[in-house]
Each structure stands twice: as structure tokens, then as C-alpha cells.
Structure 1
Amino acid sequence: MSIVALVLAAGKSSRMGRDKLSMRLYAIDGAGENESSTVLPVEHGSMVPINHEDAKSETVGGRVLSVLLQVSELASIVVVHSPHSSPAWQAQCEQLRQLHSERMQLVACEQSELGMSYSIREGVQYVREHIPSAQAILIVLADQPLLEPTHIQQLVAQWQEQRELDYVAATGANGAAPPILFAASMWDGLEQLTGDQGARRLLKGTDWYGAQVQLPAYCFWDADTPSALERIRQHLAEND
């Protein structure tokens, strides 16, 4: 049984005003609030990635990838990014890919600006073609950094216990939302999404048999705006 995490990381960050995925989760003395922490200058003007084992240098997207890499039940992690993503985010993704080459792959979605469905379809197609052992895809958003390994494991465990399920969705006060696990029976449906339709649209129909797993409200907080990121930072400061 093989489960692949499909990380949607190709958004335009239009509400943030800059690349949100490479923004720090923690304030660092002497650094601007909005600086990324993906690379550091070294001699001769070259750049080297920061060691992301240092939690205080974690970024929004980097923390999501770090969490997924801690979940042994995930055989592979496929990151769908935009070719127009910031150099900082691309550098961070490449560093992690090199460190975890046996589990992590990067896929560029040339049409990501046309809507989320393009990233989903690109990712599903990649899994079909390159990971034939995959039996389920777990769709995760790269801007929800408060997810923890145990949250992902709850979804996986539910599907492992009930293999007849077409999907297992996280749910909170506003209903089902990513992360959502989709068995192979639903991949055709994912590839038929259009425009800016997200994967949870499929859950509104009656064609599929699924389950929901209740997660804490903070799991669904995304870093879409400066105020949203500040709320996430405050949560981390109070709970770390």
C-alpha cells in the first residue's frame, strides 16, 4: 500500500503581496518581519541554503514539508510548484529534494496561475505516470504550517482501517477541507476539475463513500495575509 502526499505550492500569494511560502514562522532578532529565511549570503556572493533543522529558521512552506517528511506512512511527497515561484522558495524545495531524494519530487505546473485545478491535475498525472504503486493521494496545502504529523497519521489510519473508503477528509468548524486523502477510485474525478475548483468540491456529490476526521481549528489556518501569518506566529509562540 502506497500513499503519496501531493503538496499544492503553486499559489500566487496575491493576498500576502509577496511569496508567503518562504516567509519565516518566527521573528529573528535584527531581521525584517517579511524577510525569507531560505538562503544566506556567503563569500564570493554565492548563496547556500540554511539548515532547516534549526526550527527558528523555519518557513511557512518549509514547515509543511518537514511535517510530511516525518510521516513514515507517506511513501512519496510530490510538491507541485509554479515555475514563477520565488527563488527563495524554489531553493528551499530543491534543498529538501536533495536531502530526501528517495521520497520527494518536484513538479512544475506551467498553468498554475489559471487556477488550483491545474496544479491538482498536474500532480495526479505525475503520480499516475511515475509512482505506479500509489493507491491513495493525500492533498495538502503548503500554506497551513500548523499541521502536525499526528494529524496526517489520523487520516491515514482511518483509510487503512476502512479500505473501502473513497476519501478521508479533515474537518473543522467550516466542514471538510484539506488535508484530504483520495483513494485511486477518485483520481479520475480530480483530473476533471476545472478553473479554480479545489479537491473538496468532489465531496459535495453523492457518488463517493468517505469519512471525516475532526482536527483542531488551528490546523486549517493558512498564511494568506499578513494578519493571518501573525496569528499563526502567535499560536506558535504560545504553544511551542
Structure 2
Amino acid sequence: MSGLNIAAIYLAAGQSVRMGRHKLSLAFADGDRLGEKGWRALLSCGTASRLIAVVRPEDPLDWLRDPSGGVIVRSSESKLGMSHSIRAGLRAARRHSPDAVIIALADQPFLSSGLFERLAGTFANSPLLDYVACDYGSFSAPPAIFSPRMYDALDALEGDSGARKLMNDGRYRGVRIPIEEPRRAMDIDTPADWQAAKREFSQTFGYSR
């Protein structure tokens, strides 16, 4: 626990036309849905004092068996790009004046409680930082944590621009923590991605299918 009032914005409104269905509802061998994995990691680590899932208005939430641990924000503008989902989540978070916000993607099934704790701990120990992001070797990406000094910049993102754009802006001071396990970087956008994720899950956790 970092001791900070941290809000987690869980971006679950993205859709991939290449999947042919609502991808977050796809099930792993243990029965957990794709979109549920990161949510449960956030809940179990206790880092975030408030969880906010941003979904499309028509989302049946069948990928989330127990949404009671957080707040569901249905955003009609999320179809216009990731920036609109970030804005909707940030609007809900700022009502409670958080010390920081974590932005996580619901289609990254191998996020862990330990990873969220590392982000929050690094941020808490360095109050001058504007952000802490994950370094996957060749690129930096969410999940990431942002200070209030970046809220207005996050709110001003346009189209499908995500927070990664701000990490490359020299005006902000941040660090990237190295993530050595390649599966942590996996996000699911295509059927091939999904097949790879299922294989990785079975090999890592010992499931036969």
C-alpha cells in the first residue's frame, strides 16, 4: 500500500473489429474472462482506493462477474477513440481529488497485483515525478500512474491518442520501470493475439487446454 489516494481508470471500452465479437468476454481455461484478469489484479493489490471501469453504453458486462468493487462509467463517446475513454474516467476520478490516477487497459490479461504495487510504490517514493510507466524493452506503455500535474494534459488528448503520447513529452518528468516478463506486455487485438494468450496462460499456469 502506498498510503496515497489513488484512482484506477480501467479502459474497457475499446473494441477490435478483427475479433468478430466483444473480446473482453472471451474465456480462459480457468473460466475467467479476458477483461476480468486486470480488474481482479487491481482489486486484490489494494493499491487503488477507487476503481473506475469505462465501458460503452451497450456493454452487457458479462466479462465482469462482480462489478461491485468499483464504479462503472458508460461513455457514449468512447467509440471516438481512447482519449474519450480516458477523459470519461478522469472526470469520474477527479470528483474525489485523487493523489494520482492509474490508467490500465482491460485487454492486457497478464497484469499482476505486484506490477500495480511497483508502480504505486515508485511513485509514492518520488513525489516530484509526473508519471511512472512500464518499460517493456522496445517501448513504454500502460499501465502507468500519473500525478495531478498531468490531469489537464490527459483531459486534452484527442482521438485515439493514449497516455503514451504524454510520456514522450519532455515537459514531464517520469520514470519507466523495467518489465522483464514478456507476457505482461500482451494486449489482445486479433484472433492470433488471443490464441497466443491462451497458450501462454496454459503453459504458465498448467492448464491443459
Q: Same fold (TM over 0.5)?
A: yes
The answer to whether the 8 A contact 1:117-1:196 is kept is yes
SS at the partner of 1:60?
coil
AA matched with 2:44: Q
Give the deviation of 1:173 after TM superposition. 2.4
Aligned position for 2:136: 172
The answer to whether the 8 A contact 1:166-1:185 is kept is yes
The answer to whether the 8 A contact 1:139-1:181 is kept is yes
Please list, as runs of the form range in 1=range in 2, the aligned pairs for 1:1-240 lying within 5 A after superposition: 1-26=4-29, 56-85=30-59, 87=60, 90-93=61-64, 95-98=65-68, 100=69, 104-129=70-95, 131-132=96-97, 134-215=98-179, 216-240=181-205
In structure 2, distance between residues paired with 1:84 and 1:23 = 17
In structure 2, distance between residues paired with 1:138 and 1:200 = 13
The answer to whether the 8 A contact 1:173-1:217 is kept is no
SS at the partner of 1:57?
coil
AA matched with 2:117: Q
SS at the partner of 1:118?
helix
SS at the partner of 1:218?
helix
The answer to whether the 8 A contact 2:9-2:102 is kept is yes
In structure 2, distance between residues paired with 1:118 and 1:162 = 29
SS at the partner of 1:127?
helix
SS at the partner of 2:100?
strand
Give the deviation of 1:174 after TM superposition. 2.6
1:166-190: CA deviation from partner (whole Å, max 9, x where unpaired):
0000011232101010111100000
The answer to whether the 8 A contact 2:47-2:116 is kept is no
AA matched with 1:4: A
Q: Which runs of 5+ in 2 are unaligned?
A: none
Give the deviation of 1:92 after TM superposition. 4.2
Give the deviation of 1:97 after TM superposition. 2.3
**Which deviates more from structure 2 when the two are superposed, residues 210-219 or residues 187-196?**
210-219
AA matched with 2:195: E
Give the deviation of 1:138 after TM superposition. 0.5
AA matched with 1:227: A
Q: Which runs of 5+ in 1 are unaligned?
A: 27-55
Q: TM-score, normalised on structure 2?
A: 0.92
Query: Which stretches of structure 1, 4 residues or longer, exceed 4 Å deviation after superposition?
Result: none
In structure 2, distance between residues paired with 1:157 and 1:139 = 15
1:21-43: CA deviation from partner (whole Å, max 9, x where unpaired):
010022xxxxxxxxxxxxxxxxx
Aligned length: 201
1:56-83: CA deviation from partner (whole Å, max 9, x where unpaired):
1101001111111111121111000001
Question: Which one has a larger percent strand, Structure 1 or Structure 2?
Answer: 1
Structure with bigger gyration radius: 1
